[in-house]
Amino acid sequence: MSNHAQTAVLAGGCFWCTEAAFEQLAGVSDVTSGYAGGAKGTANYEAVCRGNTGHAEVIRITYDPAKISYGQLLDVFFDAHDPTTLNQQGADRGTQYRSAIFVADGEQRRIAEQKIAEHNASGHFSRPIVTSIEPLTAFYPAEDYHQDYARANPHQPYIQAAAIPKACKVREKHAALIRQ
């Protein structure tokens, strides 16, 4: 890992699923489940599950830009969930499951806007992308039991039904980016 690690904060539904999809990528050194979009006082699972905190379940990806670019991470992001459904991924419903890119600066915003435009123009999805681009004001790590949840609980029914298929889809569509 270079001394110039960068981070990306993405919301693509349940953080257990998105974490599993991204931790297999070469150049990614850490994926942390957490919350973004709301206040510090409501950055906990119980409050976020109520759906009225402004938070989304997110992952913070720490990566080496010499090995994987922010744009490549966004390409994986768009394939790791359905960015055309508003406030929903599968059976998970509510604003806490929204599709969002939390940008830390103007360059991340520019790349995110470009990727959304490219995907919409390509016809890759049958409906327009509804992913929001939101300023990253803070990232709050989720409770310890949420970290590496899919890896620690591979036989849990939700992980079997939702997280593993997403990780496999990413492995198939982005084979060149998978850690050897």
Distance separating alpha carbons of residues 72 and 114, to the nearest angstrom? 12
Selection from 68, 94, 71, 125 nearest residue 14 by Cα: 94
Known catalytic membership, residue 14: yes
Instruction: Given the residues 14, 17, 49, 168, select the one marked as catalytic.
Output: 14
* 126-147 residues labelled b (16+ CB within 10 A) or e (exposed): eeebbbbebebeebbebeeebb
Q: Which residues are catalytic?
A: 14
